[in-house]
């Protein structure tokens, strides 16, 4: 019983340590990766359904094939692309100190 409790404690210490190390090292990378992915997503949406916000798109026929897959992204994308921008916006995704 005691042994099991000790094991449990060790496991949670290890998990905590792992989280801590992740926070020290990997988190910034992961955040950067997710942010870059989001930027690419914006670009992807513009290329596929840019005509929704007034940018002409080459082949509307095949865009429609992709439309069902991007339905959940449309609101976020529009908010992202059409919102007002701050001068400092483009520095948001820099990896500071790495």
List contacts with another protein (CB under 8 A). 22, 26-27, 29-30, 33-34, 36-37, 40-41, 43-44, 47-49, 51-52, 58-72, 74
Q: Smallest gap, in angstroms, from Cβ of residue 16 to another protein?
A: 14
CB of 5 to another protein, least distance (A): 25
C-beta neighbour count of 98 within 10 angstroms: 8
Q: Is the CB of 12 or the CB of 36 nearer to another protein?
A: 36
**Residue with smaller CB distance to another protein, 6 or 20:** 20
Residue 85 has phi, psi (to 5 degrees) of -105, 150
| Residue 48, phi then psi, degrees to nearest 5 | -85, -50
Alpha carbons 69 and 1: distance in angstroms, whole number: 51
Q: Rounded to whole angstroms, how far apart are CA atoms 71 and 79?
A: 14
Smallest distance from the beta carbon of 61 to another protein, in angstroms? 3
């Amino acid at each position: 019983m005691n042994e099991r409790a000790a094991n449990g404690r060790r496991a949670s210490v290890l998990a905590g340590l792992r989280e801590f190390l992740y926070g020290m090292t990997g988190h910034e990378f992961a955040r950067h990766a997710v942010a870059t992915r989001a930027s690419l997503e914006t670009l992807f949406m513009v290329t596929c359904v840019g005509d929704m916000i007034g940018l002409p798109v080459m082949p509307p026929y095949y865009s429609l094939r992709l439309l069902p897959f991007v339905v959940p992204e449309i609101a976020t994308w529009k908010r992202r692309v059409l919102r007002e921008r701050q001068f400092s916006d483009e520095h948001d995704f820099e990896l500071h100190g790495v």
